[in-house]
Amino acid sequence: MADWDSTLAALYEGTLHPDRMAAFGGELAALTGSSLVTLVSHDFASASGTATALAGAGACEPGRYAREHAADNLWLQRCGHAVRTGALVHSDDHVGRAEFRATRLYEQVLRPLDRIDNALGLVALREGEEVVLLSLHRPGRMPAWDGHELAVLRRLSPHWVNAWALHRRLAWLEEQATTLDAALDVLPTPLVLFDAGGRIGKLNEAAARLLQDGSLLHGKAGLVSARHDGSALAAAIGAACRGRAGGDGARERARQRLILHDGDGQAAASVDIQPLPASLSADSFAAVMFVQPVSAPAGSEAGEVLRRMFDLTQAEAALALALRQHGQLGTAAAALGITPGSARTRLKVVFDKVGERSQAALLRVLDAVLGG
Protein backbone atom coordinates (compact mmCIF):
# COMPACT_ATOMS: atom_id res chain seq x y z
CA MET A 1 0.00 0.00 0.00
CA ALA A 2 1.59 3.27 -1.11
CA ASP A 3 1.68 6.23 1.27
CA TRP A 4 2.76 9.85 1.02
CA ASP A 5 6.24 9.41 2.53
CA SER A 6 7.20 6.45 0.36
CA THR A 7 5.88 8.17 -2.78
CA LEU A 8 7.88 11.31 -2.04
CA ALA A 9 11.02 9.32 -1.29
CA ALA A 10 10.60 7.39 -4.56
CA LEU A 11 10.26 10.67 -6.48
CA TYR A 12 13.58 12.06 -5.27
CA GLU A 13 15.28 8.70 -5.56
CA GLY A 14 14.16 8.59 -9.20
CA THR A 15 15.42 12.14 -9.67
CA LEU A 16 18.98 11.16 -8.79
CA HIS A 17 18.69 7.69 -10.35
CA PRO A 18 16.40 7.95 -13.45
CA ASP A 19 16.35 4.19 -13.88
CA ARG A 20 14.30 4.05 -10.64
CA MET A 21 11.65 6.55 -11.76
CA ALA A 22 9.28 3.67 -12.54
CA ALA A 23 9.15 2.91 -8.80
CA PHE A 24 7.84 6.43 -8.26
CA GLY A 25 5.26 5.87 -11.00
CA GLY A 26 4.04 2.74 -9.25
CA GLU A 27 3.81 4.49 -5.88
CA LEU A 28 1.92 7.41 -7.42
CA ALA A 29 -0.49 5.12 -9.26
CA ALA A 30 -1.35 3.29 -6.04
CA LEU A 31 -1.66 6.52 -4.05
CA THR A 32 -4.05 8.17 -6.53
CA GLY A 33 -5.97 5.19 -7.91
CA SER A 34 -4.48 5.63 -11.40
CA SER A 35 -4.16 2.71 -13.80
CA LEU A 36 -1.53 4.36 -16.02
CA VAL A 37 1.13 7.00 -15.29
CA THR A 38 3.26 8.39 -18.10
CA LEU A 39 6.06 10.96 -18.28
CA VAL A 40 5.30 13.24 -21.21
CA SER A 41 7.46 15.82 -22.97
CA HIS A 42 5.70 17.97 -25.55
CA ASP A 43 6.53 20.90 -27.81
CA PHE A 44 3.40 22.91 -28.62
CA ALA A 45 5.13 24.75 -31.47
CA SER A 46 6.04 21.62 -33.44
CA ALA A 47 3.30 19.34 -32.03
CA SER A 48 5.96 16.75 -31.24
CA GLY A 49 6.83 14.86 -28.10
CA THR A 50 7.45 11.63 -26.23
CA ALA A 51 5.54 9.59 -23.66
CA THR A 52 7.12 6.96 -21.42
CA ALA A 53 5.01 4.68 -19.22
CA LEU A 54 6.08 4.74 -15.56
CA ALA A 55 3.24 2.53 -14.32
CA GLY A 56 0.58 0.45 -16.05
CA ALA A 57 0.74 -1.47 -19.31
CA GLY A 58 2.99 0.16 -21.91
CA ALA A 59 0.98 -0.60 -25.03
CA CYS A 60 2.67 2.15 -27.02
CA GLU A 61 6.44 2.37 -27.30
CA PRO A 62 7.87 5.88 -26.80
CA GLY A 63 9.18 5.89 -30.37
CA ARG A 64 5.80 4.96 -31.78
CA TYR A 65 4.05 7.65 -29.75
CA ALA A 66 6.51 10.25 -31.06
CA ARG A 67 6.00 9.12 -34.68
CA GLU A 68 2.26 8.48 -34.73
CA HIS A 69 0.41 10.13 -31.85
CA ALA A 70 2.18 13.18 -30.42
CA ALA A 71 0.98 15.44 -33.23
CA ASP A 72 -2.70 14.52 -32.77
CA ASN A 73 -2.91 14.28 -28.97
CA LEU A 74 -6.19 16.16 -28.59
CA TRP A 75 -5.72 16.68 -24.86
CA LEU A 76 -2.49 18.59 -25.34
CA GLN A 77 -3.81 20.47 -28.35
CA ARG A 78 -6.69 21.86 -26.32
CA CYS A 79 -5.12 22.50 -22.90
CA GLY A 80 -2.01 24.42 -23.93
CA HIS A 81 -3.30 27.73 -22.57
CA ALA A 82 -3.79 26.18 -19.11
CA VAL A 83 -0.42 24.45 -18.91
CA ARG A 84 2.13 26.21 -16.72
CA THR A 85 4.77 25.07 -14.26
CA GLY A 86 3.11 23.53 -11.21
CA ALA A 87 -0.38 23.37 -12.73
CA LEU A 88 -2.83 20.47 -12.37
CA VAL A 89 -4.77 20.13 -15.64
CA HIS A 90 -7.82 17.87 -16.10
CA SER A 91 -8.60 16.66 -19.61
CA ASP A 92 -12.36 16.84 -18.97
CA ASP A 93 -12.07 20.64 -18.72
CA HIS A 94 -10.84 20.87 -22.31
CA VAL A 95 -11.99 17.84 -24.32
CA GLY A 96 -15.24 15.88 -24.15
CA ARG A 97 -14.73 12.17 -23.63
CA ALA A 98 -16.90 11.22 -26.61
CA GLU A 99 -14.80 13.46 -28.86
CA PHE A 100 -11.58 12.00 -27.51
CA ARG A 101 -12.78 8.44 -28.08
CA ALA A 102 -12.88 9.22 -31.81
CA THR A 103 -9.10 9.84 -31.97
CA ARG A 104 -6.40 7.42 -33.12
CA LEU A 105 -4.59 7.81 -29.80
CA TYR A 106 -7.61 6.43 -27.97
CA GLU A 107 -8.39 3.70 -30.48
CA GLN A 108 -4.84 2.41 -30.90
CA VAL A 109 -3.30 3.03 -27.48
CA LEU A 110 -5.74 3.80 -24.67
CA ARG A 111 -8.80 1.77 -25.65
CA PRO A 112 -6.81 -1.48 -25.31
CA LEU A 113 -5.72 -0.24 -21.87
CA ASP A 114 -9.14 -0.78 -20.35
CA ARG A 115 -10.80 2.09 -22.29
CA ILE A 116 -8.93 4.98 -20.71
CA ASP A 117 -10.58 8.21 -21.87
CA ASN A 118 -9.51 10.90 -19.39
CA ALA A 119 -6.34 12.20 -17.77
CA LEU A 120 -4.84 14.50 -15.17
CA GLY A 121 -1.65 16.34 -16.05
CA LEU A 122 0.77 17.44 -13.30
CA VAL A 123 3.16 19.94 -14.91
CA ALA A 124 6.83 19.91 -13.90
CA LEU A 125 8.00 22.55 -16.35
CA ARG A 126 6.67 24.97 -18.95
CA GLU A 127 9.35 26.84 -20.90
CA GLY A 128 7.97 28.74 -23.85
CA GLU A 129 6.27 26.12 -25.98
CA GLU A 130 7.95 23.15 -24.29
CA VAL A 131 6.35 21.27 -21.41
CA VAL A 132 7.14 18.26 -19.19
CA LEU A 133 4.32 16.66 -17.22
CA LEU A 134 3.09 13.54 -15.52
CA SER A 135 -0.07 12.21 -17.15
CA LEU A 136 -2.27 10.12 -14.84
CA HIS A 137 -5.06 8.00 -16.31
CA ARG A 138 -7.91 5.79 -15.20
CA PRO A 139 -10.65 3.97 -17.17
CA GLY A 140 -13.79 5.91 -18.01
CA ARG A 141 -15.96 3.50 -16.05
CA MET A 142 -14.24 4.57 -12.83
CA PRO A 143 -15.45 7.63 -10.88
CA ALA A 144 -13.62 10.93 -11.30
CA TRP A 145 -10.67 11.64 -9.02
CA ASP A 146 -12.06 12.70 -5.66
CA GLY A 147 -11.14 15.65 -3.49
CA HIS A 148 -8.63 13.66 -1.44
CA GLU A 149 -6.77 12.43 -4.53
CA LEU A 150 -6.69 15.92 -6.04
CA ALA A 151 -5.41 17.32 -2.75
CA VAL A 152 -2.58 14.75 -2.78
CA LEU A 153 -1.59 15.83 -6.29
CA ARG A 154 -1.66 19.52 -5.37
CA ARG A 155 0.51 18.73 -2.35
CA LEU A 156 2.88 16.79 -4.62
CA SER A 157 3.08 19.56 -7.23
CA PRO A 158 5.88 21.70 -5.69
CA HIS A 159 7.93 18.58 -4.99
CA TRP A 160 7.48 17.43 -8.59
CA VAL A 161 8.56 20.86 -9.87
CA ASN A 162 11.58 20.91 -7.53
CA ALA A 163 12.58 17.34 -8.35
CA TRP A 164 12.47 18.00 -12.09
CA ALA A 165 14.55 21.17 -11.66
CA LEU A 166 17.12 19.15 -9.70
CA HIS A 167 17.06 16.43 -12.36
CA ARG A 168 17.74 18.97 -15.12
CA ARG A 169 20.70 20.42 -13.26
CA LEU A 170 22.32 17.01 -12.82
CA ALA A 171 21.22 15.30 -16.05
CA TRP A 172 24.09 16.59 -18.17
CA LEU A 173 26.52 14.79 -15.84
CA GLU A 174 25.20 11.36 -16.78
CA GLU A 175 27.97 10.65 -19.28
CA GLN A 176 30.70 12.28 -17.18
CA ALA A 177 30.19 10.63 -13.79
CA THR A 178 28.87 7.31 -12.58
CA THR A 179 28.30 8.17 -8.92
CA LEU A 180 26.66 11.04 -7.06
CA ASP A 181 29.95 11.94 -5.37
CA ALA A 182 31.71 12.19 -8.72
CA ALA A 183 28.81 14.12 -10.22
CA LEU A 184 28.90 16.72 -7.45
CA ASP A 185 32.57 17.41 -8.00
CA VAL A 186 32.17 17.75 -11.77
CA LEU A 187 29.27 20.19 -11.35
CA PRO A 188 30.73 23.72 -11.70
CA THR A 189 27.94 25.29 -9.62
CA PRO A 190 28.69 25.38 -5.86
CA LEU A 191 26.42 22.77 -4.23
CA VAL A 192 25.91 21.87 -0.56
CA LEU A 193 23.83 18.99 0.83
CA PHE A 194 22.45 19.59 4.35
CA ASP A 195 21.33 17.18 7.01
CA ALA A 196 18.02 17.58 8.89
CA GLY A 197 19.66 19.96 11.37
CA GLY A 198 20.85 22.30 8.62
CA ARG A 199 24.49 21.22 8.96
CA ILE A 200 26.79 20.44 6.03
CA GLY A 201 26.43 16.82 4.97
CA LYS A 202 28.38 17.00 1.72
CA LEU A 203 29.67 19.69 -0.61
CA ASN A 204 31.38 19.75 -3.96
CA GLU A 205 34.74 21.28 -4.84
CA ALA A 206 33.18 24.49 -6.15
CA ALA A 207 31.37 25.02 -2.83
CA ALA A 208 34.50 24.19 -0.83
CA ARG A 209 36.41 26.88 -2.75
CA LEU A 210 33.61 29.40 -2.14
CA LEU A 211 33.59 28.73 1.61
CA GLN A 212 37.37 28.83 1.79
CA ASP A 213 37.42 32.23 0.08
CA GLY A 214 35.04 33.49 2.77
CA SER A 215 34.14 36.82 1.16
CA LEU A 216 30.53 35.75 0.49
CA LEU A 217 29.96 32.51 2.42
CA HIS A 218 31.97 30.77 5.10
CA GLY A 219 31.71 27.51 6.99
CA LYS A 220 32.25 27.06 10.71
CA ALA A 221 31.35 24.17 13.01
CA GLY A 222 29.58 22.42 10.13
CA LEU A 223 27.31 25.37 9.31
CA VAL A 224 27.16 27.62 6.25
CA SER A 225 26.86 31.33 7.01
CA ALA A 226 26.60 34.38 4.78
CA ARG A 227 29.03 37.22 5.36
CA HIS A 228 26.44 39.97 4.82
CA ASP A 229 23.04 38.19 4.83
CA GLY A 230 23.57 35.84 7.75
CA SER A 231 20.10 35.88 9.31
CA ALA A 232 18.29 35.59 5.96
CA LEU A 233 20.39 32.61 4.87
CA ALA A 234 20.07 30.88 8.25
CA ALA A 235 16.29 31.26 8.10
CA ALA A 236 16.17 29.90 4.54
CA ILE A 237 18.30 26.85 5.41
CA GLY A 238 16.13 26.19 8.45
CA ALA A 239 12.90 26.48 6.44
CA ALA A 240 14.19 24.00 3.84
CA CYS A 241 15.76 21.52 6.28
CA ARG A 242 13.59 21.69 9.40
CA GLY A 243 10.50 23.47 8.07
CA ARG A 244 8.08 25.84 9.70
CA ALA A 245 5.09 24.86 11.82
CA GLY A 246 1.80 25.02 9.92
CA GLY A 247 -1.69 25.61 11.24
CA ASP A 248 -2.14 21.91 12.04
CA GLY A 249 1.14 21.73 13.93
CA ALA A 250 2.91 19.78 11.19
CA ARG A 251 6.20 21.17 9.94
CA GLU A 252 6.27 21.98 6.24
CA ARG A 253 9.60 22.31 4.44
CA ALA A 254 9.62 24.54 1.36
CA ARG A 255 11.95 25.65 -1.40
CA GLN A 256 13.79 28.87 -0.56
CA ARG A 257 15.39 31.45 -2.86
CA LEU A 258 17.29 34.58 -1.92
CA ILE A 259 19.92 37.03 -3.12
CA LEU A 260 23.23 37.37 -1.29
CA HIS A 261 25.00 40.75 -1.24
CA ASP A 262 28.62 41.83 -1.04
CA GLY A 263 30.09 44.43 1.31
CA ASP A 264 28.90 47.26 -0.94
CA GLY A 265 25.31 46.03 -0.85
CA GLN A 266 25.40 44.79 -4.45
CA ALA A 267 23.90 41.44 -5.48
CA ALA A 268 26.70 38.88 -5.49
CA ALA A 269 24.91 35.53 -5.85
CA SER A 270 21.55 33.83 -5.95
CA VAL A 271 20.83 30.91 -3.63
CA ASP A 272 18.32 28.14 -4.37
CA ILE A 273 17.66 25.66 -1.53
CA GLN A 274 15.47 22.67 -2.39
CA PRO A 275 14.09 20.28 0.27
CA LEU A 276 14.74 16.55 -0.04
CA PRO A 277 13.03 13.76 1.89
CA ALA A 278 15.12 12.51 4.82
CA SER A 279 14.86 8.97 3.44
CA LEU A 280 16.67 9.90 0.22
CA SER A 281 19.83 8.05 1.19
CA ALA A 282 21.73 6.50 4.04
CA ASP A 283 23.22 9.95 4.64
CA SER A 284 19.71 11.39 5.25
CA PHE A 285 20.21 14.59 3.28
CA ALA A 286 17.38 17.02 3.99
CA ALA A 287 18.06 19.76 1.43
CA VAL A 288 20.37 20.75 -1.41
CA MET A 289 21.64 24.31 -1.93
CA PHE A 290 22.85 25.71 -5.26
CA VAL A 291 24.80 28.98 -5.24
CA GLN A 292 25.11 30.97 -8.46
CA PRO A 293 27.68 33.78 -8.10
CA VAL A 294 27.22 36.76 -10.38
CA SER A 295 29.11 39.95 -11.09
CA ALA A 296 27.42 43.27 -11.78
CA PRO A 297 26.44 43.06 -15.45
CA ALA A 298 26.80 45.52 -18.23
CA GLY A 299 23.56 46.25 -20.06
CA SER A 300 24.29 43.80 -22.87
CA GLU A 301 25.06 41.05 -20.35
CA ALA A 302 21.93 41.44 -18.21
CA GLY A 303 19.96 38.78 -20.09
CA GLU A 304 22.76 36.26 -19.69
CA VAL A 305 22.94 36.97 -15.95
CA LEU A 306 19.21 36.32 -15.56
CA ARG A 307 19.44 33.11 -17.60
CA ARG A 308 22.34 31.88 -15.49
CA MET A 309 20.89 32.85 -12.10
CA PHE A 310 17.28 31.75 -12.57
CA ASP A 311 17.47 29.23 -15.43
CA LEU A 312 15.39 31.52 -17.67
CA THR A 313 15.16 30.99 -21.40
CA GLN A 314 16.29 33.77 -23.71
CA ALA A 315 12.67 34.79 -24.34
CA GLU A 316 11.84 34.82 -20.60
CA ALA A 317 14.90 36.93 -19.78
CA ALA A 318 14.00 39.36 -22.57
CA LEU A 319 10.50 39.78 -21.13
CA ALA A 320 11.84 40.39 -17.63
CA LEU A 321 14.22 43.06 -18.92
CA ALA A 322 11.52 44.68 -21.06
CA LEU A 323 9.18 44.79 -18.06
CA ARG A 324 11.93 46.40 -15.98
CA GLN A 325 12.52 48.99 -18.70
CA HIS A 326 8.91 49.85 -19.52
CA GLY A 327 7.14 49.18 -16.23
CA GLN A 328 3.94 47.86 -17.86
CA LEU A 329 3.44 44.34 -19.20
CA GLY A 330 1.45 45.54 -22.22
CA THR A 331 4.17 48.00 -23.22
CA ALA A 332 6.86 45.35 -22.69
CA ALA A 333 4.93 42.90 -24.88
CA ALA A 334 4.61 45.49 -27.66
CA ALA A 335 8.33 46.22 -27.49
CA LEU A 336 9.08 42.52 -27.94
CA GLY A 337 6.50 42.07 -30.70
CA ILE A 338 4.42 39.50 -28.82
CA THR A 339 0.77 39.51 -27.78
CA PRO A 340 -0.28 40.48 -24.25
CA GLY A 341 -1.60 36.95 -23.76
CA SER A 342 1.77 35.44 -24.67
CA ALA A 343 3.47 37.90 -22.33
CA ARG A 344 1.19 36.94 -19.44
CA THR A 345 1.84 33.22 -20.02
CA ARG A 346 5.58 33.80 -20.20
CA LEU A 347 5.52 36.00 -17.10
CA LYS A 348 3.91 33.20 -15.07
CA VAL A 349 6.91 31.00 -15.89
CA VAL A 350 9.29 33.81 -14.89
CA PHE A 351 7.44 34.14 -11.57
CA ASP A 352 7.80 30.39 -10.94
CA LYS A 353 11.54 30.40 -11.66
CA VAL A 354 12.40 33.58 -9.75
CA GLY A 355 10.13 32.64 -6.85
CA GLU A 356 7.94 35.74 -6.82
CA ARG A 357 4.21 36.18 -7.42
CA SER A 358 3.81 39.85 -8.44
CA GLN A 359 5.34 42.26 -10.92
CA ALA A 360 6.41 44.61 -8.13
CA ALA A 361 8.27 41.83 -6.28
CA LEU A 362 9.88 40.65 -9.52
CA LEU A 363 11.12 44.17 -10.29
CA ARG A 364 12.63 44.43 -6.82
CA VAL A 365 14.59 41.21 -7.45
CA LEU A 366 15.73 42.46 -10.86
CA ASP A 367 16.90 45.71 -9.30
CA ALA A 368 18.82 43.79 -6.64
CA VAL A 369 20.46 41.51 -9.20
CA LEU A 370 21.14 43.98 -11.99
CA GLY A 371 21.73 47.10 -9.94
CA GLY A 372 18.95 49.55 -9.26
pLDDT, tens only, 246-278: 665 667 788 888 888 888 877 788 888 888 765
CA distances from 77 to 42, 44, 272, 327, 351 (A): 10, 8, 34, 33, 24
Is there a contact between 117 and 100 (Cβ–Cβ < 8 Å)? Answer: yes
Lowest mean pLDDT among 41-45, 56-60, 333-337: 56-60
Domain co-membership, 60 together with 194: no
Domain co-membership, 330 together with 283: no
Distance, in Å, from the CA atom of 133 to the CA atom of 113, rounded to the nearest integer, reads 20
Domain co-membership, 232 together with 347: no
Distance, in Å, from the CA atom of 43 to the CA atom of 55, rounded to the nearest integer, reads 23
CATH number of the domain enclosing 198: 3.30.450.20
Q: Which residues form the domain of 24?
A: 4-171
pLDDT at 223: 94
Q: What is the pLDDT of residues 114-128, one digit of tens each?
A: 888 888 999 998 887
Domain co-membership, 286 together with 316: no
pLDDT at 172: 45
How long a stretch of residues is the chain?
Answer: 372
Domain co-membership, 8 together with 154: yes
User: In terms of Cα–Cα distance, which of 137, 125, 139 is closest to 32?
Assistant: 137
Q: Does 110 have pLDDT greater than 60?
A: yes
Overall average pLDDT of the 230-240 stretch: 93
Q: Residue 282 — very low, low, confident or very high, per pLDDT cuts 50/70/90? A: very low
Q: What is the pLDDT of residues 192-202, one digit of tens each?
A: 989 889 999 88
Domain co-membership, 267 together with 328: no
Write phi, then psi, for 267 (nearest 5 degrees): -60, 125
Domain co-membership, 41 together with 16: yes
Q: Which residues pair with 50 in a beta bridge?
A: 41
Overall average pLDDT of the 30-54 stretch: 89
pLDDT at 40: 92
**Among 235, 263, 293, where does a domain finish?**
293
In a domain, 235, yes or no: yes
Whether the model clears a pTM of 0.85, i.e. scores above it, the answer is no
Is there a contact between 87 and 104 (Cβ–Cβ < 8 Å)? Answer: no
**Among 139, 171, 203, where does a domain finish?**
171
Domain co-membership, 129 together with 257: no
pLDDT at 200: 93
Distance, in Å, from the CA atom of 11 to the CA atom of 314, rounded to the nearest integer, reads 29
Q: Residue 173 — very low, low, confident or very high, per pLDDT cuts 50/70/90? A: very low
Q: Considering only residues 144 and 46, tell me which one the structure prediction assigns the higher pLDDT.
A: 46
Q: Does 309 have pLDDT greater than 80?
A: no
User: How many domains does one find in the chain?
Assistant: 3
CA distances from 278 to 117, 183, 229 (A): 37, 20, 27
Lowest mean pLDDT among 16-30, 65-79, 105-119, 290-304: 290-304
Q: Residue 27 — very low, low, confident or very high, per pLDDT cuts 50/70/90? A: very high
pLDDT at 170: 63
Computed over every residue of the chain, the mean pLDDT equals 82
Q: What is the pLDDT of residues 116-163, one digit of tens each?
A: 888 899 999 888 788 999 999 988 888 888 888 888 898 888 888 878
Q: Residue 181 — very low, low, confident or very high, per pLDDT cuts 50/70/90? A: low
CATH number of the domain enclosing 333: 1.10.10
Domain co-membership, 30 together with 145: yes
In a domain, 298, yes or no: no
Overall average pLDDT of the 339-368 stretch: 84
Determine what percent of the chain is predicted with pLDDT higher than 90. 22
Q: Considering only residues 177 and 217, tell me which one the structure prediction assigns the higher pLDDT.
A: 217
User: In terms of Cα–Cα distance, which of 270, 260, 191, 266 is closest to 231?
Assistant: 260
Q: Does 323 have pLDDT greater than 60?
A: yes
In a domain, 275, yes or no: yes
Q: Residue 295 — very low, low, confident or very high, per pLDDT cuts 50/70/90? A: low
pLDDT at 347: 92
pLDDT at 355: 74
